[in-house]
Amino acid sequence: MSATSSSSSRRGAFIVFEGLDRCGKSTQVDRLVQRLDRDGHKARLQKFPDRTTAIGKMIDAYLQSKAEMDDHAIHLLFAANRWECAAAIRRDLENGITVIADRYAFSGIAFSAAKGLPFEFCLQPDTALPLPDITLYLTLPPAVASQRSAFGVERYETVAIQTAVREQFGLVANEVKKRHGDGKWVEVSAEGSIEEVEERIWGLLEGMISGGVDGRIGELWVQSDESR
């Protein structure tokens, strides 16, 4: 995180990157955080799952197929992993820090629902988590993603699962737009060079990041007066 700070009294922006496997989320969040750091803007990265916590270590073992777990149980652990980070996200946003998340509750729903868990069950445990100000959903044809390095190393990394997850992401997008407004979920093409995608993303985020965000931090899946 950069040592310099903005004098704005507005809070930091909460920006989430979502998308199918290998579409370039981690590459782009790293570049964005580095860019903001260079510009002297306070920003930090939050990865989900956060594999460093005790819960995160259980998730990591599951993803690497070193442990088996009931589908409901692993779903709740992913959500618990977000809840253990929620207070820090809220605090940082209030202190003017931009928080950039690499995946969030939307991956939680899409992956578990793709396995057959009821959509409503998947949505519930994340209710009232900090609401992202914007979620950028990076899109890339599954066949292109599967050609990228390390695809297939972890659980879920097959074209069939990714296709089912993509369908569920479509339902998640509808739910976000219905409950929180169209502007909260934006699709971005992840095709092209890393630099081209970076500029596309910067064009969408520049205003929100440099101006900060006005208003209180919303609650995920809880409709506020503004979004009704």
**Residue 9 binds which entry of ligand Z5A, Mg ion, none, with Cβ cut-offs from 5 to 8 Å by kind?**
none
Q: What's the min distance (Å) between Cβ of 47 and Mg ion?
A: 8
The footprint of ligand Z5A (CB under 6 A) covers 19, 21-27, 48-49, 63, 78, 103, 107-108, 111, 148-149, 156-157, 193-194, 197
Q: Which is nearer to ligand Z5A, 113 or 213 (CB)?
A: 113
Q: Which of 181, 5, 175, 227 is nearest to 98 (CA)?
A: 5
**Residue 48 binds which entry of Mg ion, ligand Z5A, none, with Cβ cut-offs from 5 to 8 Å by kind?**
ligand Z5A
Task: At 81, list the tokens.
Answer: 């992993």
Q: What's the min distance (Å) between Cβ of 203 and ligand Z5A?
A: 16
Contact 167, 118 (CB under 8 A): no
Contact 18, 187 (CB under 8 A): no
Residue at token pair 């510009």: 39
Give me the residue whose beta carbon is nearest to ligand Z5A: 108
Contact 197, 24 (CB under 8 A): yes
Task: At 121, list the tokens.
Answer: 């069950």
Q: Which is nearer to Mg ion, 2 or 26 (CB)?
A: 26
Q: What's the min distance (Å) between Cβ of 223 and Mg ion?
A: 30
* Cα–Cα distance for residue pair 68/55, rounded to 1 Å: 14
Q: Which is nearer to ligand Z5A, 72 or 148 (CB)?
A: 148
**Residue 107 binds which entry of Mg ion, ligand Z5A, none, with Cβ cut-offs from 5 to 8 Å by kind?**
ligand Z5A
Q: Which is nearer to Mg ion, 29 or 172 (CB)?
A: 29
End-to-end CA distance of the chain: 35
> Would you tell me how many other CB atoms lie within 10 Å of the CB of residue 226?
10
Q: Indicate the SS3 state at residue 203.
A: helix
Q: What's the min distance (Å) between Cβ of 102 and Mg ion?
A: 6
The answer to the question of residue 26 lying near Mg ion (CB under 5 A) is yes
Task: At 48, list the tokens.
Answer: 């989900």
Give me the residue whose beta carbon is nearest to Mg ion: 26
> Would you tell me how many other CB atoms lie within 10 Å of the CB of residue 183?
10
Q: Which is nearer to ligand Z5A, 21 or 92 (CB)?
A: 21
Q: Interface with Mg ion by CB under 5 A: which residues? A: 25-26
